[in-house]
Structure 1
């Protein structure tokens, strides 16, 4: 395999999400998140699906073979199981060169894996902010993720069929996560 290997930063994003899930109090399940579609519990159910979808897509399975959310009764244990399955696929170098099908088109596995770094990083912010732990986030993930979002989801192409709201303006002193989530249309000043 030549070029960028997305597996190290993807592992970092998976680790960050796993740490947040493991330390989220189940009593916070009904708290709102900056992602208007999800409460804390619904967001965790969604990322339980995301961790499994990464492995499924990289194994060559259809994107929609994994639902949008997987209800979870034991958040840390279910995450660990999904992570174990996906890590097994990621360990196979051929998963990075295999052509896979995504809703936005065909890509090699490395490009598909890289796209999930962004999804996990933004949802980690959603979960951390909703539960008062934004200071626990790794800023290097936000810095690394923003250029990909800016390339794939330009500011002027928002609307029907694009799962992001309009870009939110930030000031010159905005931090890495504030700039990242503002690009995805989230309010960087969200308070639960």
Structure 2
């Protein structure tokens, strides 16, 4: 059974999944839209790198607001930039004591483990965004996604949404939707948000 008190192994697995997705993005896809309307493929990958930087800064006791929302310096190797950011972040989060310390997240002061769960959720949802935008398989490992979904349903209220809960309304999952898509649905993403693929 997964030890949900320590989300770090799951976060590590989610980061590896997204790294593999980034590595398969073609240069001609960088300006394509994604289900996350504020980002195209390139800026979504820059945002994903920034989320790992924010997780590191949080663990260091810093203010995540000092990290830009999108890293615009990932160059021609976003997967490499993501991997390097993760390596730096794990140097910090390798300390077990951080899980029980109160840290400063963008949404307030929370226990370290809650911050890691939140970044795990963001990684999987944006991984789904990236996969669907680039025509890749959009389901992470089912046990990983199910664990994240169970926590998201407890931690992110179904209503109200907007304002302090920066998610769109929960979307009813399509018949047969896998756990990663259902997690995206809980964050307000719909299968109908999938951008049209270019031929």
Whether TM-score is above 0.5 comes out as yes
Match 2:181 to one of 161, 178, 181: 178
CA contact (8 A) 1:166 1:184 kept: yes
Aligned to 2:142: 139
RMSD between superposed Cα atoms in Å? 1.9
User: Matched residue of 1:34: which SS?
Assistant: coil
Deviation at 1:170, TM superposition (A): 2.3
CA contact (8 A) 2:50 2:69 kept: yes
CA contact (8 A) 2:139 2:181 kept: no
TM-score (norm 2): 0.88
CA contact (8 A) 2:102 2:109 kept: yes
Deviation at 1:147, TM superposition (A): 2.1
Match 2:166 to one of 163, 166, 169: 163
Is 1:98 aligned to residue 101 of structure 2? yes
Aligned to 1:37: 38
- Report the Cα distance in structure 2 between the residues aligned to 1:29 and 1:187, rounded to whole angstroms: 22
Deviation at 1:135, TM superposition (A): 4.9
Q: Deviations over 1:55-83 (max 9, x none)?
A: 11011111212111111213122112211
C-alpha change, 1:3 and 1:25, in structure 2 (3 Å) is closer
User: Matched residue of 1:186: which SS?
Assistant: coil
- Report the Cα distance in structure 2 between the residues aligned to 1:107 and 1:21, rounded to whole angstroms: 30
- Report the Cα distance in structure 1 between the residues aligned to 2:162 and 2:102, rounded to whole angstroms: 29
Q: Deviations over 1:95-127 (max 9, x none)?
A: 223220123321221221111110000011000
- In structure 1, stretches of 5+ residues that fail to align are none
Aligned to 2:113: 110
Q: Which moved more, 1:78-87 or 1:7-16?
A: 78-87
Matches within 5 A, 1:2-81: 4-71=5-72, 72-73=74-75, 74-81=77-84
TM-score (norm 1): 0.91
Q: Which moved more, 1:161-170 or 1:78-87?
A: 161-170
Deviation at 1:153, TM superposition (A): 2.1
- In structure 2, stretches of 5+ residues that fail to align are none
Q: Which moved more, 1:80-89 or 1:120-129?
A: 80-89
Residues paired across the two proteins, number? 191
Deviation at 1:174, TM superposition (A): 2.6
CA contact (8 A) 2:50 2:68 kept: yes
